[in-house]
Structure 1
Amino acid sequence: MGATDMRTKLLTFVLLVAGLSGLVRAQSVQAPLPSGSAPAQQRPTTLPTGERYVIGPQDNLSITVVDEPELTGKFRVDNDGTLTFPFLNRVPVAGLTLEELQARLTTLLKAGEILRNPQVRVEVDQYKSRSVYVIGEVRVPGKVTMSGTTLTLLEALALAGSPTANASNEIIVVHPSRPGASVGGVAGADIEGERITVNRRDLELGRAGREIVLQDGDIINVPVAQRFYIYGYVRNPGTYVLDPGMTLQQAIALAGGLTDRGSDRRIKAKRQVNGKLAEMSLQLEDKILANDTIAIPSRFF
């Protein structure tokens, strides 16, 4: 079919294309965390993978229409969520999956009698529209661009230079409930949204975090480590990172265990209580708190 005939037949469905163009403003075209407000909405907890990838602005798409070289090529999604396609002009694509865009192009080509039975294939050539933010105790905090359909938590941390020596063993992933929430000057705890807490050691050992697939706009907060000090009759006295929920027994084990003369009774801890330093007795099953100073006594012989 010649280009002239194709343009003529395009007139028969121009209203259809015009109607679809109104959908551009309805698409969720989201810039990575700009300043300003946005309507509250519930975000999903995972990023769709594979063919469920959702197209966004600045993505570069490779579109193939079998046996139709005029309609085959690479197309960039503009900031308004549309792309310019031969004989269809501007087509709204932001917010669609690859599969949905294939179906939309097929419908438009058929509706305009441009092709009777178009076979359309859409792939992402370059992912440009998605990013997450890594803040806190990492070597290179800031925005991490997602170069594929998915980005794991471990990959995001590696791209941010990995946690520093002062990093907590607790990593917090925030799915903001208000897309566009600013992270400037915010430690992560003040941003509203769903929170997932992961133990960093378990993540690095593959025991946790595999089920977490990041999505556009997520915030990964690596807080500064909380610490405690233990001294006396333990093998390795010193300052240690406090894991959430750590008990006295676990703290002693972290310090190498008791020496031959060490006792697990009559253990005292100095702790800040209501702004004042207080001394208290601890049992092995008691939880310790940040900045506790724990004294391990000797046994009586």
Structure 2
Amino acid sequence: MQNFHASLCRVVASTALVGLAACGGNETADIAATVAPSASNDAECITIAEGMYIFENGKFTAAAAPQPQIVERVTRASTGWVGSIETAFTAAGYPWLGLVVRENVATLTGLAPDVDAKRRALEIGTAALQADPAGSTEMTLIVDGIGVESGERGPGESLAALAQGVISQDSCQLALNQAMDGQKIQFPTNRGDISPVSMGLLDAVAGIAMLCDEYAVEIGTHTDSRGSNEYNQVLSQKRADAVRHYLLEKGVSIEQLTAVGYGESVALDTAETYEAWGRNARTEFRLSSRP
């Protein structure tokens, strides 16, 4: 094959996907292809439009171009300082540990064999980022996106997926919903301060908000029906304010966040049972367009 530039080539079995660009200074691509070693040296040239083509059985056929975010994902994960850090993870005995970076948010990813391996990997990954000249300068937030084979998922899994795709209001809201699915921000009983066990989850929420800084985020905190309406209103506002303060400390813009305490006024389950109380006491994050 002569006189063309390949922007992307992936071979699966006998099929090649080739991106062709103009090679003769024209707006079309001149392709000269020798289809077999025994073919004549006089290459046959045809003129086709610039684009993506599949070469199979000696013929070129048009193919859809790959999505830009997929190409970006491969590039980001295999080159530059990010690629160097991932190579160091493998050398340290953690080949399953990965790193997803977008803007100033870094998410450690992978599936650990057990909880202890996850803990060590988080320590190693965080230390590697902090020691790297580029990583320590560019990254302001490091998030745990590491799952465990036994079933525990990393709180930053949806953040890592968002960081590798298109940022929109829908994708940002989906990432928040997925992060909170089956999870709760924990507070000590009758108190407004955040339990340390929820800080990894809130780090993931902070990362999503930072990548989605074009949108406003409402922090809505709800209580169950135990206690007076007035008490629950005050308690829920304290908890919403505490979450807002935590996210601000992690780097989320102050103009982006609103904290609203709903008390017991928006119940998901009106039954007076422990199960209903557990459902109703919750924190929700809702995106909207910024003014």
The higher-RCO structure (CA 8 Å, 6+ apart) is 1
Whether the TM-score (by the shorter chain) exceeds 0.5 is no
**Which has more helix, going by share of residues?**
2
